[in-house]
Amino acid sequence: MKKSTSILTIAFCFISINVLSQNKSDNFGKLLIKGQLSGWEHFNASNTYPLWSGARYIPQANYEIDLGENRLIDFETSANIYGNFGFKSFNSTSTNGDLKPYRFWGRYSTQQFEFRVGLQKINFGSASLLRPLMWFDQIDPRDPLQLTDGVWGALARYYFLNNTNVWLWGLYGNNNKKGWESAASLKNKPEFGGRIQIPVSKGEAALSFHHRKADYTFLEDEIFALETAENRIGFDTKLDLAVGLWMETSWVNSREDIGIFTNQEIINLGIDYTFRLGNGLTVIYEQLIVAYNEKAFVFDQTLIFSLLNMTYPIGLFDNLSAIVYYDWTNKSAYNFINWQKQFNNISLFIMGYVNPKNYNIPTQGATEMLFAGSGIQLMLVFNH
């Protein structure tokens, strides 16, 4: 069924784009067609293939049906089409690529309620960059496009008039590792959870929960259970004082003994402030602690990361940003700088980085090894 849905998603995207070259509306609904085309060149002398070239196209179609009285039914479908080419010499090359659904959902919404079902992005929390509550996505803060695969499931949200909101979700058929997961979900077993977020003095606070069955078959040579029920509890809060302050935490507990994977605790403390320097310098600092142990809340096996992010708008169309990670456990620093230039629908990104050759930033995607060592990447993005 999932494979058939993928084919339908991609077919619908292409048919929509070929048939319609502009937004179209009628008495029944409104159709919006758009897309994002990006291309990049990546050079890193430390890589097996020093030169990487690639391109990606994400066609997207949205259809809205206005039911009146602040009620709406809408749909979104999009595909992720990309390819990469690695070059070392004329007899040493590598290629890869894929064509898969990116989003495929339908939604019913009112002024205070929404229900969405299908392939969608679900994310929440108060942290800005190093996010303990990255349970269902894998966004790299250094990625200018902020791309992430979605999850298959249903999500309901209700917003009270006092800004309290309640989330309920159920997931099914997501067999790849998500976020901070050490193991993928067990095939064909549903997952479910929820979240409540309430206003507090000078900010907001929230409590989240998620339950799933995890597949630890990669431990088949050990004495531990291969399949286990897993519960996650998250707490986050954000306060708007003279500076922005937040705390975000996650505790993952497996019901069976799977060694150091039995308990995982992640804590993020952060602060941000915009200094009145020139056009305004925004600085974000976050401290992250990740612990794994057979027993809960025993912090004797930890990863500790600090992150400093600085962003400065040079003008109306230019933006300069830098991110520095410091890994206190391995005594290593990761440095990234990005200059963005905007030309109407076209964006140019020039990115450079200086990282350790033993790359150890957690949860940063499948292409992370391209960024070990030092290199530069140029990216051109066209949105239509």
The residue with tokens 């995207």 is 13
- State the Cα angle at 98 between 139 and 4, rounded to 5°: 100
Distance CA 70, CA 380 (A): 39
Segments making up each domain of the chain, as ranges? 1-88
Q: Is the pTM of this model over 0.85?
A: yes
Let me know if 242 is exposed, middle or buried by CB neighbors in 10 A (0-12, 13-18, 19+).
exposed
Q: pLDDT by residue for the chain (384 residues), tens digit each? A: 444 444 444 444 444 444 444 455 555 789 999 999 999 999 999 888 999 999 999 999 999 999 999 999 999 999 999 999 999 988 889 999 999 999 999 999 999 999 999 999 999 999 999 999 999 998 888 899 999 999 999 999 999 999 999 999 999 999 888 889 989 998 789 999 999 999 999 999 999 999 999 988 776 665 556 789 999 999 999 999 999 999 999 999 999 888 888 999 999 999 999 999 999 999 999 999 999 999 999 888 899 999 999 999 998 899 999 999 999 988 999 999 999 999 999 999 999 999 988 877 766 554 556 788 899 999 999 999
Please, are residues 32 and 13 in contact by the beta-carbon 8 Å criterion? no
Q: For residue 42, what are the β-bridge partners?
A: 52, 377
pLDDT for the residue 101: 97
Distance CA 173, CA 161 (A): 35
pLDDT for the residue 164: 97
Both tokens assigned to 180? 């901070």
pLDDT for the residue 19: 42
Q: How many residues does the chain have?
A: 384
Measured from the Cβ of residue 76, the count of other Cβ atoms closer than 10 Å reads 20
Q: Rounded to whole angstroms, what are the CA distances from 136 to 152, 185, 231, 292?
A: 10, 11, 14, 20
